[in-house]
């Protein structure tokens, strides 16, 4: 894990992927910086055992507006499902970079 400075110059502890924070809570994964306008949420829908390791097999991905006043479906900009965490992270990264650059 590395410490990274956010826009307020505070150190943020945690795992990063391609320069953005990646956090997991149960079957939910959150990708993106909390202060940005958009964030990616991923939910593990299915997983399978490979030897003794639980591996995520089907992931739901959502690009969401990161605004406190919005609820549930109002936040969702794009939604998809992918097989495997790597594919989910890749599409999420593309969506997030595109949304933040516009």
Domain contains 47: yes
Range of the domain at 27: 23-101
Domain contains 2: no
Instruction: Decide which of 15 and 6 is more confident.
Output: 15
Domain contains 66: yes
SS3 68: coil
Signed CA dihedral, 3, 17, 72, 70: sign only: positive
Give the per-residue pLDDT at 4.
52
Domain contains 29: yes
pTM: 0.81
Which distant-in-sequence residues (6+ apart) come within 8 Å of 56 by Cβ? Answer: 44, 46, 47, 84, 85
Total domains in the chain come to: 1
CA gap 65, 32 in Å, rounded:
11
Domain contains 3: no
SS3 75: coil
Give the per-residue pLDDT at 1.
45
């Amino acid at each position: 894990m590395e410490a990274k400075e956010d826009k307020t110059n505070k150190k943020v502890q945690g795992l990063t992927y391609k320069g953005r924070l990646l956090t997991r809570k149960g079957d939910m994964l959150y990708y993106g910086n909390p202060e940005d306008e958009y964030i990616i949420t991923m939910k593990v829908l299915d997983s399978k055992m490979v030897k003794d390791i639980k591996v995520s097999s089907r992931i739901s991905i959502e690009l969401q507006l990161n605004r406190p006043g919005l609820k549930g479906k109002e936040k969702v900009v794009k939604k998809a499902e992918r097989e495997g965490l790597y594919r989910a992270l890749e599409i999420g990264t593309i969506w997030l970079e595109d949304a933040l650059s516009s």
